């Protein structure tokens, strides 16, 4: 996407940059969303205070366990995860609303910066934000919108 509305950042890099400003370069502007289902190991909640934790956008526990961060499974994982996101479009609204106003950053804990759910999530969100990427255009033909009730976003 040309205007780079959605940035990715490892939560550990985010914490390090906040502890040592000026060493890693400037952090992207805008709100930050922790998009992992589980809290990152070793990261105190105070280190990401003020950022939203939107755990419901993360892959289901079963899909996360099946994937196991194996790069050989990433293509199938991405397909399955996109299907989960399509089945629950309401959980994306806090991030989409913020991205419509300006840049946002998705925080994740995975070590592999290329084969993780945040990469798939970013691409999915950007497709939703593109002029031709409305929800109905990205949904499979004949799919029924079964948007579950939206859980509130937790502020840390």
Domain total of the chain: 1
pLDDT digits (tens, 9 = 90+) for 83-114: 999 999 999 999 999 999 999 999 999 999 99
What integer pLDDT is reported at residue 140 of this predicted model?
46
User: Residues 126-137: pLDDT tens digits?
Assistant: 999 988 755 444
Q: What is the pLDDT of residues 21-75, one digit of tens each?
A: 555 556 677 999 999 999 999 999 888 888 999 999 999 999 999 999 999 999 9
Q: Give the pLDDT score at 1.
A: 40
* Residue 31 maps to a domain: yes
Phi, psi of 105 (to 5 degrees): -125, 130
Per-residue confidence at 152, pLDDT binned at 50, 70, 90? low
CB contact at 8 A, 65 and 123: no
Within-domain flag for 135: yes
Residue 2 has pLDDT above 80, yes or no: no
Determine, yes or no, domain membership for 156. no
Please indicate, yes or no, if residue 121 is contained in any of the structural domains.
Answer: yes
Is 152 contained in some domain? no
**Domain encompassing residue 122:** 6-139
Task: Please indicate, yes or no, if residue 148 is contained in any of the structural domains.
Answer: no
Q: What percent of the chain has pLDDT over 90?
A: 63
Does a structural domain hold residue 107?
yes
State residue 78's pLDDT score.
98
């Amino acid at each position: 996407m040309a205007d780079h509305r959605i940035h990715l950042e490892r939560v550990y890099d985010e914490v390090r940059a906040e502890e040592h400003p000026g060493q890693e370069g400037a952090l992207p502007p805008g709100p930050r969303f922790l998009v992992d289902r589980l809290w990152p190991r070793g990261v105190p909640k105070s280190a990401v205070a003020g950022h939203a934790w939107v755990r419901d956008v993360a892959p289901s526990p079963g899909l996360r366990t099946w994937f196991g961060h194996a790069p050989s499974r990433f293509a199938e994982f991405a397909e399955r995860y996109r299907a989960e996101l399509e089945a629950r479009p309401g959980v994306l609204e806090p991030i989409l609303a913020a991205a419509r106003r300006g840049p946002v950053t998705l925080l994740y804990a995975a070590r592999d910066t290329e084969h993780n759910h945040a990469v798939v999530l970013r691409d999915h969100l950007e497709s939703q934000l593109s002029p031709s990427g409305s929800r109905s255009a990205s949904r499979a033909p004949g799919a029924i919108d079964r948007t579950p009730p939206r859980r509130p976003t937790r502020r840390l």
